[in-house]
Structure formats: structure tokens, C-alpha cells
């Protein structure tokens, strides 16, 4: 249903789901604190999820944040940097251009704050689709819903999922299970230019 509502604005969907992600995080915490089965079932029945943000509101929010600092994308201390992205992003785009999106899992950095991370996912989806004129990608999105996560990442799954994908995403990933275009083996320090980059600048980049 959300895909149909958002149509060609699929990249905005993670941002629109921000209140639902937050509610899910609170629900998990409440369920974890249940000491008995009866308490667990009572808590479960009481959970109510809010509506997602209207597409017009989400679009306005997304456009209104274009001048904000995009450096938060790379602040997780997990080896991600704009320099790594500039070097490795062409590989991802080449695979997508050749139809290699079937069975492709991509791991990308997002902010530690959950609300900001939802916005960041929309930024990544928009960036990927901005590189193409005639193709439009709507990958499955996997984001840790916990409210405080160091070095948080999102997984974008292009193509259908199979059982081994779930093990990689929520369990123990196989070696080279993900393409990680923004990450390098050695963390980099960020220059002033990196920190000053706006989301508008970031989304306008061509690779």
C-alpha cells in the first residue's frame, strides 16, 4: 500500500515512515520489559502505530532540508567518507546499468539518530535514482529501528529476497554479502569541505 500511495516518490517513503519507525522502537522496548506472558500479550494488544507522513508534507520536508549539512551521513566512525563514495559509487551504478540489480544488497551509512537516519535513507534513494534518466529503482529497505545505534547503516536490497539475505541482514553476514560504496577499510578524517557539504550539493553530484 505505501508504494502505491507514494508512486514515483518512492524515495520519500523512508522519511514518511519516520513516526512508524519510532513507534516500533518504543514498542520493542516495552515488550522487552514485560516480565510475564500475560504482560507481554497485554502490551502487544495495546500497541498502536501512527499514520505515515503525507506525501506532500514529506516532499516539503525533504526539499526544505537541502541546505543542511550532509556531513552527518559520514559521522558514524565506521570508515565511511565522501572520498570512498566518489571512488566506489561508479561500480554500483555500472552494475545497476547492466541490470545487475537482481540479488544486489548495498550497505550505506546513515546518522545515529533514528529520525535523521530515516531522512538519510531517502537521500540515498534519491541520489541513486538521480544518476539515471530512464530507470527508477525501488529497493527494499532494512533499517535498524533502535533509537540509539553507533555506526548505524541501512541495507538497500535490489531485486527479490531469498532466505540467505535475511541471515545476512539481521544475523551474521557472509563475507562480501554487501556492496559498500561509501566505506573503506581505514576510517578517514573529514576535511572542512566535507563537513560543509549540503544535502543539495550531495544530491546534485554525478558519478
Element (H, E) at 108: strand 104-109
Proportion of the chain above pLDDT 70, given as a percent: 85
Instruction: Determine, yes or no, domain membership for 28.
Output: no
The pTM of this model reads 0.85
Among left, alpha and beta (phi > 0; psi -120 to 50; other), residue 187 is: beta
Instruction: Determine, yes or no, domain membership for 57.
Output: no
Chain centroid offset of residue 115 CA: 11
Could you tell me which residues come within 8 angstroms of residue 120 by beta carbon, excluding any fewer than 6 positions away?
A: 72, 73, 109, 110, 111, 154
The answer to whether residue 52 scores a pLDDT higher than 50 is yes
Instruction: Determine, yes or no, domain membership for 75.
Output: yes
Instruction: Determine, yes or no, domain membership for 85.
Output: yes
Average pLDDT of every residue of the chain:
85
Backbone angles phi, psi at 97, to 5 degrees: -65, -35
Q: Tell me if residue 158 falls in helix, strand or coil.
A: strand
Proportion of the chain above pLDDT 90, given as a percent: 45
* Residues spanned by the domain of 199: 69-203
Total tally of structural domains belonging to the chain:
1
Amino acid at each position: 500500500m505505501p508504494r502505491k500511495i507514494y508512486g514515483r516518490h518512492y524515495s520519500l517513503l523512508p522519511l514518511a515512515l519516520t513516526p512508524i519507525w519510532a513507534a516500533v522502537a518504543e514498542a520493542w522496548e516495552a515488550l522487552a520489559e514485560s516480565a510475564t506472558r500475560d504482560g507481554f500479550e497485554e502490551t502487544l494488544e495495546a500497541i498502536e502505530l501512527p499514520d505515515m507522513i503525507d506525501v506532500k508534507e514529506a516532499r516539503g520536508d525533504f526539499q526544505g532540508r537541502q541546505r543542511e549539512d550532509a556531513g552527518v551521513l559520514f559521522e558514524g566512525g565506521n570508515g565511511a567518507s565522501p572520498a570512498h563514495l566518489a571512488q566506489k559509487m561508479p561500480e554500483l551504478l555500472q552494475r545497476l546499468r547492466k541490470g545487475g540489480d537482481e540479488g544486489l544488497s548495498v550497505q550505506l551509512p546513515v546518522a545515529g539518530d533514528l529520525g535523521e537516519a530515516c531522512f538519510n535513507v531517502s537521500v540515498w534513494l534519491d541520489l541513486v535514482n538521480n544518476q539515471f534518466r530512464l530507470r527508477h529503482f525501488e529497493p527494499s529497505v532494512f533499517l535498524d529501528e533502535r533509537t540509539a545505534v553507533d555506526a548505524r547503516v541501512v541495507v538497500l536490497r535490489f531485486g527479490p529476497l531469498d532466505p540467505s539475505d535475511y541471515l545476512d541482514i539481521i544475523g551474521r553476514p557472509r563475507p562480501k554479502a554487501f556492496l559498500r560504496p561509501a566505506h573503506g577499510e581505514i576510517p578517514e578524517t573529514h576535511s572542512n569541505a566535507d563537513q560543509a557539504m549540503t544535502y543539495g550539493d550531495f544530491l546534485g553530484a554525478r558519478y
